[in-house]
Structure 1
Amino acid sequence: MGVAYSVGEVDHLYTFFVQWSPHRFTEHRRRRSFLLVDKEKLAVIDSLLSDPDPEHWNIITVRKEKRSQSVCSSPSVSTSEDEDTEDTLPVLQQDSQILREQHIEKLAPHLPARVQCSPWQLVYSTDTHGTSLKTLYRNTAEIQQPVLLLIQDTHNQVFGAFSSDSFRVSDCCYGTGETFLFTFSPEFQMFRWSGENSYFVRGFLDSLQLGAGGGPFGLWLDSDLLRGSTFPCNTFRNAPLCPHQDFSVRALEVWSFQ
């Protein structure tokens, strides 16, 4: 007898398998290896394969077809082996003061499957909305989706967190095992849920905390979003996200997936 799972449950299962069987989910395996085809098109394909005629059809790669279209449409358009990667990058609906293309390329493949194809919507930015944790909570109050927290400190280090739940004031910790910390300082690293505790996120009026257990928080921000700290914690078994464990914020953004 089969078992049916919701989209959210499938994402949680996928996160579990990635966490505990990382050797089965290398970058190569992360690439999409299937296409959805309706029955009518599948019947046509089956008929062609059963009686192939090279005069009527041939198989080409997507990259080759794109290169052909590009050459025909405009001689000034150049193609490269990285074109497939560019096509899979998410669309940012607004400009970011923090993100660069190399950040997105490294981070996007590690997001849960349910948000990987979604455009990114900027819901809070210190550059636009000022430095206030209350404003951040207010801007994310109606969001029923995961959010991405990005921080650039005064030493130009970039790091942050992916939260399965939007940020809010709470009496207890919230979030799921999809939540993780990450840093680009000096190279990209991500720290997934260790399974040791469930202290993913907790919001106070005067601070925002991610990860805990065994001492300080994995990531902590004050009420003005001007100062923060990052230390190893049991929730993610992370290293500090930046060289200066007590840091000052130059820019902070929160993105949702619409």
Structure 2
Amino acid sequence: MGLAVQGSTAKHGISLRTLIRKTGEASGPCLLVAGDMQGAVFGGLLDCPLKPTPKRKYQGTNQTFVFTTLHGEPRLFRATGANRYYYICMNDLLAFGGGGNFALHLDSDLLSATSGPCETFGSLCLAHNPEFDLKNIEVWGFVHISNYLT
């Protein structure tokens, strides 16, 4: 098993629609990795390809998680079982968690985001501040590597 970049704001521009479209190349789960301007790295696990819904409808499974490096070592927050608010994917927003706040909420322009205490994952704010500018976003897809390919 390996990782391959599916989408990146550095490579593909700052558009949520483009990022969603690029996840269509993934056959399995993807890891969304983002960062704030102060150096925190955070994100979460998504089912891919992403399927935008016309209304706010939660997707995902209890395998979904969020993480942060805000306090040094990476810290993983798994689903607590408090609810099934794993993630929402629409053409104008992508958000992890719910119950109080989103653990991570990205707008369509992928320039700014929010994060707050979230019941779904038992997480605190993943970034340095609850409202912040994004430095970069990448989506990494998990791929199977065959021993027979050279």
Identify the TM-score tier after normalising by the shorter chain.
Answer: 0.7 to 0.9
1:169 correspondence with 2:55: no
- Three-state SS of the structure 1 residue aligned to 2:80 is coil
Offset of 1:164 from its aligned partner? 3.6
- Paired residue for 2:86, among 196, 200, 209? 200
Residue equivalent to 1:120: 3
Residue equivalent to 1:138: 21
1:189 correspondence with 2:75: yes
Q: Which has the higher contact order (CA 8 A, sep 6+)?
A: 2
Offset of 1:155 from its aligned partner? 1.0
CA deviations 1:131-165 (Å, max 9, x no partner) are 00000111112433100000111112111111244
2: CA distance between counterparts of 1:166 and 1:237?
26
Do 2:38 and 2:128's aligned partners in 1 also have CA atoms closer than 8 Å?
no
CA deviations 1:50-105 (Å, max 9, x no partner) are xxxxxxxxxxxxxxxxxxxxxxxxxxxxxxxxxxxxxxxxxxxxxxxxxxxxxxxx
Offset of 1:240 from its aligned partner? 0.7
2: CA distance between counterparts of 1:225 and 1:155?
17
1:241 correspondence with 2:126: yes
Segment drifting more, 232-241 vs 166-175:
166-175
- Gaps in structure 1 of 5+ consecutive residues: 1-117
TM-score in terms of structure 2 length: 0.88
2: CA distance between counterparts of 1:138 and 1:165?
10
TM-score in terms of structure 1 length: 0.52
Larger radius of gyration: 1
- Gaps in structure 2 of 5+ consecutive residues: 144-150
Do 1:165 and 1:174's aligned partners in 2 also have CA atoms closer than 8 Å?
no
Residue equivalent to 1:220: 105
Moved over 3 A (4+): none
For residue 98 of structure 2, what is the amino acid of its counterpart?
Answer: A
